[in-house]
Amino acid sequence: MIPDVPDETSQQAAVMPKPVAYADLPPDQQRQRLADLATVFFRLGAIAFGGPAAHVAMMDDEVVKQRKWMSRETLLDLMGVTNLLPGPNSTELAIHIGYERGGWWGLFVAGGCFIFPAMTLVWILAVFYARYQTVPQAQWLLYGVKPVIIAIVLQALWKLGKKAAKDTPTIIAGVGAIAAYFLGLNEILLLLLIGLGVMLFKNWQRGQTPPPVALLPLPGLLAQTADATVVVVSMGWLGVFGFFLKIGSVLYGSGYVLLAFLQRDLVERLGVLTSQQLLDAIAIGQLTPGPVFTTATFIGYLLSGHAGAIAATIGIFLPAFLLVGLVNPWVPKLRRSPWASGFLDGVNAASLGLMVGVTVILAQEALVDWITLTMAVVSAVIVFRFKLNSAWLVLAGATIGLVVHLSGWQ
């Protein structure tokens, strides 16, 4: 049973003043706000293990609970819109938060600082790999961190879920999304169908007539093909940039979807990588914190050295920055429209349902013995009962993983 905790978000709604727009701040406060964004997202990028669900949980802890930069409802809306865009979801959420706090400067500061630690680690490991043709063994790190991540994600699910599951239609939407996840339905199609279903039902209850489709801004943004077939003339750094730019522009889903794209194009069609090299690249992405899409840094280095590492990283993440900058100003407008607001409610509930599904899979991988199970339970008690920053829990988990590894228990 999840311990009963006060609803922090309802308390925040009563006391949280509307944040001052970045453009209205004096220059010294603008610089301070950007410095705060850099500090927060650099730290998150350095410790954010566990994939997008864990990243969202840590951002919720840092941005909503610890610093009160925005309400949990706002974070949910940003997360819902993010799930409808191609590209790395958790990185796009960081970029959204940066835009909310610091405009275009904040967008690049938050996103860049979140990506940079992982990119640097992956780049160093790529150099090591190119020389020794082996992946460093650090399974002890994930062994200790993953059980802690489960507790952090559960807390975020509990708090975000209380805001996303606001009525009967959204509760049904969330449960349906969980079931659909385990049935293997396409995630983007699922989000769209549930969003449309909740939108139509809520406005039918109000006796509203559906607006023309042209009034909804999202379909035009979503009319993209998932076909990432690319004709790469050269595997020099410019060819690497073009390849990953196209992938970043159309790819939905997790790092495992990225694996399928890269296997088809780089291994089977172009023959510039072996399957083993690709699997090693994905393994490096899993072993390092931050976005799994920094796998592109590793592959870029193998294909075209240091210039390729830079080109691949910029290529795969650049579309996320541009899409978020274009879409973010629409979020408040969507929330004010009863039709778009209903759609967003459905997408938010479905997003949380998908997050539950991912958490179940992660728990199956993380809780492998009595040590990891104990770590998860103790961590859950800590995160639900005490206001401890999740960064300390991650570091504690890594330390326990190291002790278990050195003692020979694992």
Ranges of each domain in the chain: 28-224+324-392, 237-318
One-letter amino acid identity for 341? S
pLDDT tens digits along 131-162: 877 766 667 777 887 888 788 778 878 877 88
pLDDT tens digits along 41-79: 999 999 887 777 788 888 999 999 889 999 988 998 898
Calculate the average pLDDT of the chain: 80
| CA end-to-end distance (rounded Å), the chain | 29
SS3 call for 389? coil
Q: Quick one: pLDDT at residue 385? A: 85
CA atoms of 198 and 281, how far apart (whole Å): 40
Confidence of residue 254 (pLDDT cuts 50, 70, 90): low
CA 303-304-309 angle, 5° bins: 95
CA atoms of 112 and 108, how far apart (whole Å): 6
CA 17-73-164 angle, 5° bins: 155
pLDDT tens digits along 299-341: 999 999 999 999 999 999 999 999 999 988 888 877 777 877 7
Q: Quick one: pLDDT at residue 166? A: 82
For residue 256, pLDDT beyond 70: no
For residue 403, pLDDT beyond 80: yes
* Alpha helix positions (H), 60-167: 72-82, 89-132, 139-164
Judge whether 362 and 52 are in contact, CB under 8 Å. Answer: no
What separation in angstroms does the CA of 209 have from each of 202, 203, 204, 288, 336? 11, 8, 7, 50, 17
Tokens 């023959």 correspond to: 271
**Which of 68-72, 83-87, 96-100, 238-242 comes out lowest in average pLDDT?**
83-87
CA atoms of 392 and 187, how far apart (whole Å): 33
CA atoms of 178 and 184, how far apart (whole Å): 10
One-letter amino acid identity for 391? A
The pTM assigned to this predicted structure is 0.73
For residue 293, pLDDT beyond 80: yes
Q: What is the average pLDDT across 211-217? A: 46
